[in-house]
Structure 1
């Protein structure tokens, strides 16, 4: 074979071994990870062989069938250092899904939710211990074995020698019950107890080492096989720890089913019954004295459930209990945890099936204060009986109730000869402002206990009137009312310049100063010179209102007569200082090229030039010809005019649309109409997006030159004046050959700038050319007169010669 062929063969062999090892490891990991599976090492030789054959065929591992010689649906780890059967880990629950438990019967009773009937939803007692299918008590996993532990095949332990001999030997018991140790050879230890093993090895090593000490540490313990038969949830053969007991094995395997007995579980060993186990001793009393350790080959037998009785109602643990022998009512009540204090013992019932023919009810008393009640506890119960203990009536007796406007509303014991004053001795028992003219007693009158009301004068009672101190009877309800419940409380109102205007409770001896203080005192805008009080005056023919003026300043100083005593329904009005709020709104804003731009207040009647002077005048770079002036009131007018024009434009569009639909037009007319309609729609869209600015045309140089100028506006709240820097260009826009911005030159006219951009195009409407000045003023060619030989001079308010094209253009102007 060539080297190349050998290399290929080795490579294929390596890949096969790697794949087999990886698959084998994955399968083993799955076996160890899945809860409810037996470790690979605990399987029989036959099962291991089957699994390995399956791995070679690269098929999934078959799940062992039940019953098998492994723990069904449970993971039984090999015992370590005296470990018993491992209990499954509790299932993890997300905190967000946790549901608070329902209140217990005891919690309901003591919280006032008193029972009026009994529940017949009874469960068989004791089976919840096995409900989760596994052990619910902690197994022993890390404790040393006991001195009576019997050594057997599979046990591992370590022998430690110290002293003159320092040796450590690890060994395990073989299947024939022997161990092999250096020097000692093969030794038979099968069946020795842990204590006997120590003595045995000590004597053996003594032959070789004269002075030493010896200790033995158990390592991995062996597993034993047991049988679970009868009425079990999961009958079968199980491999369990050699330290397992009957109860630990039952808890690990799921225990009895509900048709299996809990009180007569039998353990057989070598064909003989070793023990009979009553799980009630463990569940109720915690006793495990008969819970012996299992040995290989033991059989746990669960017989069929014996006679049962149900206990319903007011016992501490209602349920269905299995009888063992001839147990009495008292015995079963003990199993149920005893009777609750709420149980009505004068009439206890038993439902019973008689002669497999009919159901009957037997009633009797369990009242221990009576002789017959004590004797009835010994009555034997029969299979299928249901013992029912009903609750006492929830209503209280020998009690009176205090309710309403009092400090301590509650139940009180009714004592012989008890009267109202025993519960209401003074005003200290009442809340503030009780209604004194009348309180009530609601009494249940015999024989049908219908309610009747008995009124008494609470004020007279507290003043010592014995005629109002009525005698109380069982279940009387004393009701005390508040003054607010039975009469309209007096109020006064304060309005105007106070922090918290509104209606307030009128207290006794309350004055104007007190009311103003309750209302949060004055606002800064309050006038301290004069205020008014409106008062109702009742007369023979009706009610009138009188007005009383007073000085708030004197009232707050406590001076009479201004600080007068208030009466019900008085209305106090605190005035504002005249024009106070208007004065706060007198602000204008100067922005741009001022020496001191900012916000300025102004006095009534002040004009624009005055504020400009207070701002230090204009800066050196200011361009007054381009001043922008904005007014809030103008914005509102512009908005109104814009809306009017938008409405008119919408009507025009609708009219044109109707014309195009109803009128027969030639091709050219239809094209013109469509073009007009499209232009109006575009204009409408732009107008709807436009926002009025409130800008007004202003000739600021004229204002700066003369205070008497019409542009020296009287100021209004919110006015804003913006002065830009001096621009260096003139804009030429629209239908010209080169729309652009040109350098502004002194003395140049409209015609000069049009010449620089090539003049109007052929599509231009020369009669519609106009100039927008930097201050917002507009000059149009349509203003020309006298055959184009004169134009309007807005500065001098007169016509000047030379025509529109001779108008001088200033920096910042726009020719359109």
Structure 2
């Protein structure tokens, strides 16, 4: 079981903290880590963080588990936020740790530095890459590569490694013995550069490749295992592989988004380290990323090479202590217009307009290569007063076909590639009564009939007497009309931009129609056709309605000449019969419904003329039911149909079973439909009704004649009076028989300072309203509230100063009354 303990210890090294890294003794390290697992420090959240840090999707994790020989659902409980049962037991924790190691999920605590890969690439996001805009508003080419946090650019944390990979401290090897001896060992490379093989001892591996190590192990292992020899005599076999790569600390500095020290694997390249640092900043260079080792510059990375050609010769693997330095950017040039990839580009020394257009992906098909414009800020020594910018037009047609010297562009230049003109030359157009109208090529010697033939020819109702050709005068762009008659076989020669119009005979006819109104399903105007009869028009209008008068119809016909009486319309009464009614069973073949030939003797067919106006009368006395609704405290509330047009309120109350014992007749709420509210809804107007008097004497005028849509509500008895408005405390007051208005107002605390006592009103439960009334300015009558009433005290109107006219009128009135009383 010795190999299991060693493998278990190697697996646990994934969660080493800086404190644990200082434990030099391997056995002591194993003991410390075993205690950590058993104490439950590897929590479910940490396991989920390890899985997220792997950058693998759930499907990829299940697939990897299956490839490693585990059940696909082994980590299912850690892929969601569910509770993990049994966490903390030594066996399950060790197994989980082993599985995580095999899945290559790096512990989140391994990464060192202020800005770590765990912070910027802990999960794979689905957010689209956002192009960062440069100072001119176009995207900076290459910037979007570093804008999305993803694990796709993370270097490998475990094998395989390149064949020339040199082993060193921090690497971890796996030695597998098969044959006579079967064993497996996890062998970390110590700081001194050796591994400890059980029963063999120390083996130096520093600087060796895996092939060199295999050659060395033949001699080293052969001394402990006699079966390990080269050749067919071997009975014990071994295989050594790299399980975990060492980690190096590198520095990404200069004009980057997050300059810092980063911990990367030993196979990580400069581009991967640069990605962890967020890439070059807005001021950083994409063309001259420098990799320094000690005091030496060992490589230069051009990110544009990687983005445009997929090759990056300067993207070398990094070693411990290497520096990735991003200097300040070079010349920034903007290119816009009809290129594949408009944006802001950094140019190297010697690169010009042709290189810029190549970096932009080339030109679009609609680009006008004769007009490429450079907007340039002049250098300080070339500027004159008022002249600091210039426009330079370049014809790049020849430059792109032959190798010419680069057209110089400098920092701050704005290049725009214009599109070719939308105008089309050498065309003619035909519209109107042909089968394929449109724009056609003007061929040499093309005539009018040639164009008509290309357009599919004339339609049957084409008007041949006049075809219009509108011709453009190129000297002043004026237009003139060329009249052509196809009857006379005119066939003029066409010119560029000619517009030909062919008319149809029907265009010259006035629209013919007949109208039908009254008791039909779809009244309105319909197109008139020759030999159209009244029956045809009725069918087109959807047939007669149920209330139609089927004995006769009225037809108003326009007279060709007014008669002596001055009438200009002739009114005809046309007989109808039952055959105009289309029953449901008329869809059966042979039914004969609506067919005048099957109707027997009856109304003859009436031939219509254009502009006839047909009116189908309503059947006398036919009317749909009128309904009213009564609800509340009646025995049988509901919707009732009126028996006659003059049915009254008392009758519907009686039909509803009369009032219940709890009904309050004086509080009736009677609503009647008003005018349309303008939004397809009907306004409801309240009508004040004295139901008590109506029930006592149905012959009085208050017993209203009901109308369609009336709504009646009888409430329960309301024992209170509501007092509102400008009073000290709005309140509901119990009704007191015989009490006057002041009693209820005083129960609400009295009038407020701004209360207008003289305009106090009482709104009764049945909708009636009464206000305080003054006679001769000194006598006052007040309404008495009833149960369910509402007393409202309005505010006084704003003061407008002393009204001497009103005062004079009051004094005069008082004097008049006094004189009449004491004369």
Normalising by structure 1, we get a TM-score of 0.56
State how far apart, in whole Å, the 1-side matches of 2:788 and 2:407 are.
Answer: 107
Aligned to 1:199, the other structure's residue is in SS state helix
Within the alignment, does 1:339 sit opposite 2:363 as a pair?
yes
Instruction: Give 1 or 2 for the bigger CA radius of gyration.
Output: 1
State how far apart, in whole Å, the 2-side matches of 1:347 and 1:379 are.
Answer: 14
Change (3 A) 1:349 1:494: closer
Equivalent of residue 274 in structure 1, options 283, 298, 304:
298
Q: 1:307-362, CA deviations, whole angstroms, 9 ceiling, x for partnerless residues?
A: 44433332222333333342243222212221222222223333443563325647
Give the C-alpha shift of residue 250 in structure 1.
Answer: 0.8
State how far apart, in whole Å, the 2-side matches of 1:213 and 1:384 are.
Answer: 67
The 5 A counterparts of 1:625-774 are: 632-633=644-645, 635-636=647-648, 638=650, 644-645=701-702, 658=773, 677=784, 681=786
Q: 1:688-710, CA deviations, whole angstroms, 9 ceiling, x for partnerless residues?
A: xxxxxxxxxxxxxxxxxxxxxxx
In the alignment, which residue of structure 2 is the partner of 1:89? 123
Equivalent of residue 176 in structure 1, options 176, 192, 201:
192
Aligned to 1:219, the other structure's residue is in SS state strand
Within the alignment, does 1:569 sit opposite 2:569 as a pair?
no
Give the C-alpha shift of residue 304 in structure 1.
Answer: 3.1
- The worse-fitting range, judged by mean Cα deviation, of 275-284 and 324-333 is 324-333
Change (3 A) 1:190 1:332: same
Q: 1:449-499, CA deviations, whole angstroms, 9 ceiling, x for partnerless residues?
A: 24x363757xx64xx5533x5544333444567889876411112234443
State how far apart, in whole Å, the 2-side matches of 1:34 and 1:176 are.
Answer: 32
Within the alignment, does 1:533 sit opposite 2:545 as a pair?
no
Change (3 A) 1:573 1:149: same
In the alignment, which residue of structure 1 is the partner of 2:523? 501
State how far apart, in whole Å, the 2-side matches of 1:34 and 1:324 are.
Answer: 43
The 5 A counterparts of 1:458-607 are: 461=486, 465-467=488-490, 469=491, 471-478=493-500, 488-523=510-545, 526=548, 530-539=552-561, 543-547=568-572, 549-552=574-577, 553=579, 556-557=595-596, 562-575=604-617, 581=622
Equivalent of residue 204 in structure 1, options 197, 215, 220:
220
Give the C-alpha shift of residue 433 in structure 1.
Answer: 7.8
Question: Does the 8 A contact of 1:354 with 1:360 survive in 2?
Answer: no
Equivalent of residue 323 in structure 2, options 299, 306, 329:
299
Q: 1:709-729, CA deviations, whole angstroms, 9 ceiling, x for partnerless residues?
A: xxxxxxxxxxxxxxxxxxxxx
Give the C-alpha shift of residue 145 in structure 1.
Answer: 2.2
Equivalent of residue 281 in structure 2, options 243, 252, 257:
257
Question: Does the 8 A contact of 1:365 with 1:373 survive in 2?
Answer: no
Change (3 A) 1:412 1:92: same
Give the C-alpha shift of residue 285 in structure 1.
Answer: 0.7
Q: Which runs of 5+ in 2 are unaligned?
A: 1-37, 54-109, 228-234, 581-593, 628-640, 652-693, 705-762, 791-823
State how far apart, in whole Å, the 2-side matches of 1:498 and 1:506 are.
Answer: 18
State how far apart, in whole Å, the 1-side matches of 2:482 and 2:613 are.
Answer: 38
Question: Does the 8 A contact of 1:329 with 1:377 survive in 2?
Answer: no
In the alignment, which residue of structure 1 is the partner of 2:439? 411
Change (3 A) 1:229 1:521: closer
State how far apart, in whole Å, the 1-side matches of 2:626 and 2:346 are.
Answer: 97
Change (3 A) 1:217 1:567: farther
Give the C-alpha shift of residue 282 in structure 1.
Answer: 0.4
Aligned to 1:549, the other structure's residue is in SS state strand
CA RMSD in angstroms, aligned pairs only: 5.1
Give the C-alpha shift of residue 533 in structure 1.
Answer: 3.2
Question: Does the 8 A contact of 2:301 with 2:313 survive in 1?
Answer: no
State how far apart, in whole Å, the 2-side matches of 1:228 and 1:374 are.
Answer: 42
Give the C-alpha shift of residue 215 in structure 1.
Answer: 2.7
Change (3 A) 1:558 1:510: farther
Q: 1:479-536, CA deviations, whole angstroms, 9 ceiling, x for partnerless residues?
A: 5678898764111122344433322111233233322221223445556554443322
Aligned to 1:158, the other structure's residue is in SS state strand
Within the alignment, does 1:160 sit opposite 2:183 as a pair?
no
Change (3 A) 1:530 1:124: closer
State how far apart, in whole Å, the 1-side matches of 2:424 and 2:569 are.
Answer: 58
State how far apart, in whole Å, the 1-side matches of 2:413 and 2:778 are.
Answer: 103
Change (3 A) 1:256 1:531: closer
Change (3 A) 1:562 1:264: same
Normalising by structure 2, we get a TM-score of 0.55
Change (3 A) 1:191 1:408: farther
Question: Does the 8 A contact of 1:556 with 1:563 survive in 2?
Answer: no
In the alignment, which residue of structure 2 is the partner of 1:390? 418
Question: Does the 8 A contact of 2:520 with 2:544 survive in 1?
Answer: yes
State how far apart, in whole Å, the 1-side matches of 2:297 and 2:699 are.
Answer: 111
Change (3 A) 1:158 1:536: same
Give the C-alpha shift of residue 586 in structure 1.
Answer: 13
Change (3 A) 1:283 1:532: same
Give the C-alpha shift of residue 230 in structure 1.
Answer: 3.2
Equivalent of residue 454 in structure 1, options 471, 481, 500:
481
Give the C-alpha shift of residue 126 in structure 1.
Answer: 2.3
Q: Which runs of 5+ in 1 are unaligned?
A: 1-20, 37-67, 78-85, 103-118, 588-628, 686-816
Aligned to 1:332, the other structure's residue is in SS state helix
Give the C-alpha shift of residue 644 in structure 1.
Answer: 4.2
Give the C-alpha shift of residue 260 in structure 1.
Answer: 2.8
Question: Does the 8 A contact of 1:149 with 1:193 survive in 2?
Answer: yes
In the alignment, which residue of structure 2 is the partner of 1:750? none
Aligned to 1:538, the other structure's residue is in SS state coil
Question: Does the 8 A contact of 1:71 with 1:253 survive in 2?
Answer: no
Change (3 A) 1:470 1:276: same
In the alignment, which residue of structure 2 is the partner of 1:130? 146
Equivalent of residue 395 in structure 2, options 355, 360, 366:
366
Question: Does the 8 A contact of 1:367 with 1:374 survive in 2?
Answer: no
State how far apart, in whole Å, the 1-side matches of 2:183 and 2:113 are.
Answer: 39
Question: Does the 8 A contact of 1:134 with 1:254 survive in 2?
Answer: no
Aligned to 1:250, the other structure's residue is in SS state helix
Question: Does the 8 A contact of 1:538 with 1:544 survive in 2?
Answer: no
Higher RCO structure, 1 or 2 (CA under 8 Å, sep 6+): 1
State how far apart, in whole Å, the 2-side matches of 1:636 and 1:31 are.
Answer: 80
State how far apart, in whole Å, the 1-side matches of 2:313 and 2:770 are.
Answer: 109
Give the C-alpha shift of residue 173 in structure 1.
Answer: 1.2
Change (3 A) 1:265 1:663: closer
State how far apart, in whole Å, the 2-side matches of 1:232 and 1:655 are.
Answer: 84
Question: Does the 8 A contact of 2:434 with 2:455 survive in 1?
Answer: no
Question: What is the count of residue pairs matched by the alignment?
Answer: 543
Give the C-alpha shift of residue 247 in structure 1.
Answer: 0.8
Give the C-alpha shift of residue 183 in structure 1.
Answer: 0.9
State how far apart, in whole Å, the 1-side matches of 2:395 and 2:198 are.
Answer: 75
Change (3 A) 1:517 1:203: farther
State how far apart, in whole Å, the 2-side matches of 1:437 and 1:22 are.
Answer: 104
State how far apart, in whole Å, the 2-side matches of 1:635 and 1:518 are.
Answer: 40
Aligned to 2:419, the other structure's residue is in SS state coil
Aligned to 1:547, the other structure's residue is in SS state strand
